[in-house]
Amino acid sequence: MTTDNPHILLLAGTHEARLLAKQLPERFPGVRLTASFAGVVKDLQELDIAKRVGGFGGTEGLKAFVKAENVTVIVDATHPFAAQISRNAVSAATGLGIPVIRLERPAWCAGPGDQWQTVSTIEEAAKALPAGARAFLAVGRKEVSAFYHRTDIFGLARMIEPPENPLPHGWSLLLSRPPQDTDEEVALFKHHNISHVVTKNSGGTRAFAKIKAARRLQLPVIIIERPKLPDTETAADVPETLDRLANFVDN
Strands (E), the chain: 7-11, 32-37, 50-53, 73-76, 100-103, 115-119, 134-138, 154-159, 172-175, 196-200, 220-224, 233-235
Phi/psi at 162 (nearest 5 deg)? Answer: -60, 150
Radius of gyration from C-alpha coordinates of the chain: 20
Q: What is the pLDDT of residues 197-226, one digit of tens each?
A: 999 999 988 899 999 999 999 999 999 999
Fold observed for domain 115-224: Rossmann fold (3.40.50)
CA distance 2 to 4: 7
End-to-end CA distance of the chain: 12
Write out the H or E segment, with its range, that includes residue 105: none
Residues of the chain with CATH 3.40.50.720: 115-224
Report helix, strand and coil shares of the chain as percent, to nearest 5. Answer: 30, 20, 45
Contact present, 8 and 28 (Cβ < 8 Å): yes
Residues of the chain with CATH 3.40.50.11190: 7-106+228-245
Alpha helix segments (H runs only) across 35-121: 58-68, 83-96
Across the range 181-194, mean pLDDT stands at: 98
**CATH no. for 7-106+228-245:** 3.40.50.11190
Q: What is the pLDDT of residues 62-113, one digit of tens each?
A: 999 999 999 999 999 999 999 999 999 999 999 999 999 999 999 999 999 9
